[in-house]
Structure 1
Amino acid sequence: MLGGYLAFTIPVSVLPSTNFPRILIAVDNGVMPIDQMMVTITRPIEEAVNSVPGLEEVRSTTSRGSAEINLFFNWHVDMFTTLQYVNAAIARVQPELPPSTTVVPNRMTFASFPIIGYSLTSDTVPQTQLWELATYDIKPRLNRLNGVSTVLVQGGQEPEFHIEPDPARLLAAGVTVTDILDAIKRTNLIDSPGLFERNHQLILGLVSGQVRTPAEIAAVVVKSTPAGIPVRVGDLGQVVPGVKPVYRIITANGKPAVLLNINRQPDSNTLDVASEVHQTLDEIRKTLPPGIEVKPFYDQSIIVGE
């Protein structure tokens, strides 16, 4: 009787649920040189996590703009608690790291690997639009599904705005590139100007200063001259639409593609998760613009089902 109950309730996957005593810390900081990465990011993080109980070995690999720090623990530690210790150590050292640094720690389990992969390709829709559809439309809907842990978007072209300052104008205005960056950071935010009470109600006000077009970025004031004349970003150069630099080319069936890799939660059932993902993507496919093909390129549930 117990065996029959377990046969229908125990999670099903290719590999068993295992708690490896290992945590991988992924670090990203744009295109910072390796020597600066090691001194300002990798080493401070290594020193911060050395105080985590049960740590036996630290291995790191640093490259231009990124680093991977592997923490190996003894098999007797509780990895859920240990991950909290690691997060606390990273939080303590985060203020000392460069502001643009992104640090993401993850436990290493069999569930860390995708169980399903889908590709988005098109001959008519640009790669920037494919990336936006995958990131802002498809990914949130998949993340809500029961049993889905993470959805990783790869490939495509991420749209952004490029500021191209003119050195002669910078020199004439007495402005540096850092001044331009600081001005945009001060402006590109949502803040509250205050609040007021009326009829026993508290009303909170919000003002958006977010820039959404090249013209809005060009209108940002960097400084004022002694005569009170504002110096704007557009006075120092031009702002043009662009895409984030691409260092890896991702294709599917010989075409540039955006990939969606879906990971399951450690205790979830691969067959159930895969069924929900396929059903949801079938629904999403009907709402996409014409000319977009959504096809699976990897499905672990087929192996499990067999």
Structure 2
Amino acid sequence: MRSFFVTYKNPLTVIIVLIIMGTTSRGSCEISAFMNWDANIDLSQQRIESRIAQIRNSLPPDLQITVEKMNPSILPVIGYTLETNSNSRTPIDMKQIALYTIKPFLSQVQGVAEVRIIGGKQKEYWLTLNPQKMSTLGITPDLLSNALAQTNFIQSNGYLSDYRLLYLTVTDATVHSLEDLQNLIVSNNGKRIVQLKDIAEVKINEGVEYTKINANGRAGLLVAIIKQPNTNLISLSADMNKKVEELKKILPSGVTIKPYYKQADFVHDSVRSVTDSLWIGLVLAIIVAIIFLRSLKASATILI
């Protein structure tokens, strides 16, 4: 992690000092810019985006950059652990359940901005090429790379009109299983069709992950709930509890989801603490009034 200071002047000759800190991890880099307390955050965000746009052409074409203002709403307010007691379910299966069952289901709750999945293993297809077969069939690495790049996509083809009806056509070339990838056509010269399984061995392996999650002594996943900025935390927590109870009914056997962090509990504890303080103060005031006045009737009259 590196940090340094940057100063510049705006058109109003006001010097703004930034503390820039960067953290680099596998496949991503997070850069945090800390402004002065009197700085206009919205204006600073626009200036940063403008500077990034100026150097955009010199950056790699596949690089994605997003600029967001830091606010408490981007931090999780509810956290769940996803666990399984079945040895037949792999980390890949748990990741698939979290991404395609739990995440869409919990996103339906009003006030949820994002459902973030942390941990698990990403499903990957690994190819082991056979150079001898590739040479015999005349398949080059570039030809194979182009064939793989032209698959696993969904593309809209436009509209087709039929009298008073209008149809939207879509090309679905997504890979859903290992068999689909093995049957991928790499070359078709009119004489012979070469499929991927003819020149390579295809396997499903776990992706390399550098974040390991353990829950109750077993490997698990974390489900983090991010709320929208103007959403009431107490209402969101209550609605999420009801939604999780519905979710438990559709989860596969042996898969459980449990809460480990609820920000609403701290709010409830704070309110309860204030209420307890008021009651304690009231009791102490009654006791002091009785001691000094030495009359229960007079003390009750004053307190009423």
Fold similarity call, TM over 0.5: yes
Amino acid at match of 2:257: V
Structure 1 residue 205 displacement after superposition: 2.3
Distance 1:107 1:194 in 2: 37
Max radius of gyration: which structure? 2
> What is residue 68 of structure 1 aligned with on the other side?
30
Q: 1:201 aligns with which of 155, 165, 168?
A: 165
| Deviation at residue 60 of structure 1 after TM alignment | 2.5
- Matched residues in 2 for 1:94 and 1:143: separation? 36
Cα deviation digits, residues 182-209 of structure 1 (max 9, x gap): 2122122233556433223333322322
Question: Distance in 2 between the 1:222 and 1:183 partners?
Answer: 6
User: Separation in 1 of the partners of 2:49 and 2:101?
Assistant: 30
1:117 CA displacement: 0.8
Counterpart in 1 of 2:231? 268
Aligned residue in 2 for 1:131? 95
C-alpha change, 1:191 and 1:299, in structure 2 (3 Å) is closer
- Higher RCO (CA < 8 A, seq sep 6+): 1
Distance between the aligned counterparts of 1:173 and 1:78, measured in 2? 64
CA distance in 1, matches of 2:165, 2:52: 41
SS at match of 1:187: coil
TM-score of the two chains, using structure 2 as the length reference: 0.70
For 2:243 and 2:53, locate their aligned partners in 1 and report how far apart those are by CA, in whole Å.
36
Distance 2:28 2:94 in 1: 26
Question: Over aligned residues, Cα RMSD in angstroms?
Answer: 3.2
What are the ranges of 5 or more consecutive residues in structure 1 without an aligned counterpart? 1-49
**Which residue of the other structure, out of 168, 177, 181, is the alignment partner of 1:217?**
181
Percent pairwise identity: 28
Letter in 2 for 1:160: E
The aligned counterpart of 2:204 is 241
**Counterpart in the other structure of 1:33:** none
The equivalent of 1:153 in structure 2 is: 117
**Given the alignment of the two structures, is residue 303 of structure 1 paired with residue 274 of structure 2, yes or no?**
no
Q: Give the letter for the 1:70 counterpart.
A: S
- Please state whether the residue corresponding to 1:272 is helix, strand or coil: helix
2:144 is aligned with what amino acid? I
Count residues in correspondence.
255
Counterparts of residues 1-306 of structure 1 (less than 5 Å):
56-80=18-42, 82-83=44-45, 93=56, 96-99=59-62, 101-124=63-86, 125-192=89-156, 195-224=159-188, 228-306=191-269
Query: 1:224-246: per-residue Cα shift (whole Å, max 9, x none)?
Result: 56x74333322220122222222
> Aligned partners of 1:197 and 1:63: how far apart in 2?
50
In structure 2, do the counterparts of structure 1 residues 198 and 243 end up closer, same or farther at CA, with 3 Å as the change threshold? same
Change (3 A) 1:285 1:86: farther
SS in 1 for 2:96: helix
> Whole-Å Cα distance in 1 between the matches of residues 245 and 230 of structure 2?
25
Structure 1 residue 177, shift from structure 2 partner: 4.1
Query: Quick one: distance in 2 between partners of 1:230 and 1:186?
Result: 17
For 1:261 and 1:191, how far apart are their aligned partners in 2?
31
Aligned to 2:277: none
Gaps (5+ residues) in structure 2?
1-7, 270-304
- The AA in structure 2 aligned to 1:266 is P
Distance 2:47 2:85 in 1: 48
Q: Please give the secondary structure, in 2, of the residue aligned with 1:107.
A: coil
